[in-house]
Amino acid sequence: MRVLVTGGAGYIGSVVSAELLRAGQEVVVVDDLSTGHADAVPPGAQFHQLSIAELDPVIGDWGIDGVIHFAARSLVGESVADPAGYWRNNVVGTVALLDTLRAHAIDRIVVSSSAAAYGEPDRQPITEDAPTRPTSAYGATKLAIDLALTDYARAYGSTAVSLRYFNVAGALAVGDGGWLGERHATETHLVPNALRAAAGDGPKLQLFGTDYPTPDGTCVRDYIHVVDLAAAHQAALAVQTPGVHNVVNLGSGSGYSVRQVLDTVAEVTERPVPVDEVARRPGDPAVLVAANERAGELLGWEPSRDLRSMVADAWGCYQRYA
């Protein structure tokens, strides 16, 4: 299969592209490099520096059988300050992409959605039929894209799968000591921030909130390894449900607290993680854990790498590029 990967120069897109190539698929990457890195596009992928709104008519020459769509802005805090940018880039951009795919009879799409579409659900673990009440413009744009996909699939007969990620961590070793991992200019995520603090390369890790109603008072999240996530995307590409948009949560079904993650970082790096305990970060729910039965049923998928493996790989990547 020849797969178009939008956002294939970003963290998850580059890992998925590399894993598709390893599985023998052909990969065409499109990325405008607004946040991605050209050197993260795996060798062997065809690369075009374009935005998703610029694919018509050139996509017609590429022989695409299916699309995995990552290209999006993805910072929760930034989205609250700049909703216009998020709605234009994520929602208007994706609708333009869907229209381009329709014009070229490309009827298979896998989209990166987010647990942020649910907001703060009352019940854990979170099933796909939980109410969707996003608490940020980022989450709202991911939900809007999913609603568009449902309508497009139904009316135009395409097969669509939205993968709602919970927390993604880890990196992929790509030979010669190289890694594909998180290299965000603005890093907001727990694992890379904790690694930087442990390495002594940055400020102390700010621990947001120690008064949550959880066993140790810190937030509980459901972490999966980016390589497990890539396997789910490959499985989603094989789904055959013309006219149906499938929404699938991707998580392990169990959670770790922030303190448990920090303990694992200290173990793996063999260094203490300097911590500043500060107030809660606005919009962070106490617990977010995925129900992953549907991922098992539809994709035959379950995660196989534990938190220690995620932190160890992220640390390998950090040490190589810091």
Catalytic entry in 138, 223, 256, 318: 138
Q: Where is 220: in which H helix or E strand?
A: strand 220-221
Helical packing angle, 93-103 and 137-156, nearest 10°: 20
Piece of 40-48, 79-87, 122-130, 203-211 that binds ligand UDP (CB under 6 A)? 203-211
Kindly give the pairing relationship between strand 179-180 and strand 172-173: antiparallel
Q: Is 78 in the site for ligand UDP (CB under 6 A)?
A: no
CB of 202 to ligand UDP, least distance (A): 10
Q: Is 254 in the site for ligand UDP (CB under 6 A)?
A: no
Number of residues that bind ligand UDP (CB under 6 A): 14
Piece of 27-35, 63-71, 125-133, 200-208 that binds ligand UDP (CB under 6 A)? 200-208
Residue sitting closest to ligand UDP (CB): 219
Tell me if residue 82 falls in helix, strand or coil.
coil
> Do you know the residue count of the chain?
322
CB of 194 to ligand UDP, least distance (A): 7
Cβ proximity of 253 and 289 under 8 Å: yes
Which residues inside 157-196 make contact with ligand UDP, applying CB under 6 A?
167, 188-190, 193
| Closest-CA residue to 72 (of 145, 162, 160) | 145
Kindly give the residue spans of alpha helices, DSSP state H, lying in 201-292.
226-237, 258-269
Measure the CA angle with vertex 320, ends 314 and 322; round to 5°.
Answer: 85
Kindly give the residue spans of alpha helices, DSSP state H, lying in 157-282.
190-199, 226-237, 258-269
Half-sphere exposure of 199 (CA within 13 A, CB side): 17
Tell me if residue 50 falls in helix, strand or coil.
coil
Cβ closest to ligand UDP, residue 133 vs residue 281? 281
For 89-105, letters b (16+ CB in 10 Å) and e give bbbebbbbbbebbeebe
Q: Is 208 in the site for ligand UDP (CB under 6 A)?
A: yes
Cβ closest to ligand UDP, residue 61 vs residue 122? 122
CB of 110 to ligand UDP, least distance (A): 20
CB of 294 to ligand UDP, least distance (A): 20
Among 12, 145, 230, 258, binds ligand UDP (CB under 6 A): 258
Q: Is 86 a catalytic residue?
A: no
Catalytic residues: 138
Residues that bind ligand UDP (CB under 6 A): 167, 188-190, 193, 205-208, 219, 221, 258, 281, 284
